[in-house]
Structure 1
Amino acid sequence: MKKRSYKILLAIFLILSVNSAVKAQSTIEVPEGYTTQIGNMVSMLEDLKERVTRSVKNLSQNETDFLLDKDANRIGAMIIHLAATEKYYQVYTFEGGDFDPEEFKKWETALKLGENARNKYVGKPIEYYLTIWDEVRKETLAKLKEKDDAWFKKMGPQDAMSNQYAWYHVMEHQANHMGQIRLVIKRIPKK
């Protein structure tokens, strides 16, 4: 009888543990120091970045460099592409323009991906790419903390999109690539 009670208690504990872990992941809370709308976006951006990072942080060099096919992008290239895209939207929203020629040269391959990225982003550990993305994100968070919700609603250059929509695009871009990255990881041949 004691064995059965132990199993029931263990099952209840596990159900409650999983339930509270899932619940913690399913909330959007404004981090300290941000206005409401910007804070909501920061919460979602950080959640996506954490999920992408969790998916890739333990990849070996071979896994980081794996190509699904001749036209695919390596996982490392997709991570630096996320950093480059975020960097571009920093310039677009915080400075009101595009990359200057020097910035464009630095980030061009990562932005465009394709053959040049397949050749350039190989042979580096996953931590190399994650560190670059961490540095870009640190700047994003610092600059967003300086802004308010009125700025967030303002239209950007040429009235193409609001600052909020630009950061929404960064978020959806991360979500799309998270799916691609996870698909590639599932297709890596197992040893």
Structure 2
Amino acid sequence: MTTFPEQRSVILTGAASPRGIGRATAHFLAERGWSVGIIDLDESAAQAVAAEVAETHGVSAAGAGANVADEQQVRAAFDALEPQLPQLVALVNLAGVSSADPYLEVTPDEWNRVIGVNLNGVHYATRRAVETTETGRPVALADVIEAARVRAIEAEPDAAVRAALQRSTVATESRRTEPHASF
């Protein structure tokens, strides 16, 4: 089993919302000594959360803006964050959207928007993080699928699109060969 380096970083996608699970997760990990990279659609909010985390917990933190549905933006965000942080060893995919439209009223554009963020976004961020392993550095991957699934079903009963996508993400997750890391 590979041990994490003493100085280590995690990148979280979708972690700049004032009330979101991403911001709370960033603080949780920073309290435990993790340096934090934040990727969010709102770049100024990502940078503000990173500054808040750094000031509160005394760790390195940086923020970058990216639409996770756009692979080139995800790559650029990782490229911007990695030099500012200690070794990347973990990724938490939290960026996600839902559709308020009843399932039978979901248009192809709306379907593609949700797929772009919730499925392709997970793939793009995970692929870019795993590329780090090609240099011999371990990366642990964590996707908060269950929390999002519960939110989609209980809090947003018409969010069938999101719930369907989470089943796809779970299927993708089950193909991993590396064990998940304990944080």
* Superposition TM-score, scaled by structure 1 size: 0.25
* Superposition TM-score, scaled by structure 2 size: 0.25
Higher helix share: 1
Larger C-alpha radius of gyration, 1 or 2? 1
Higher strand share: 2
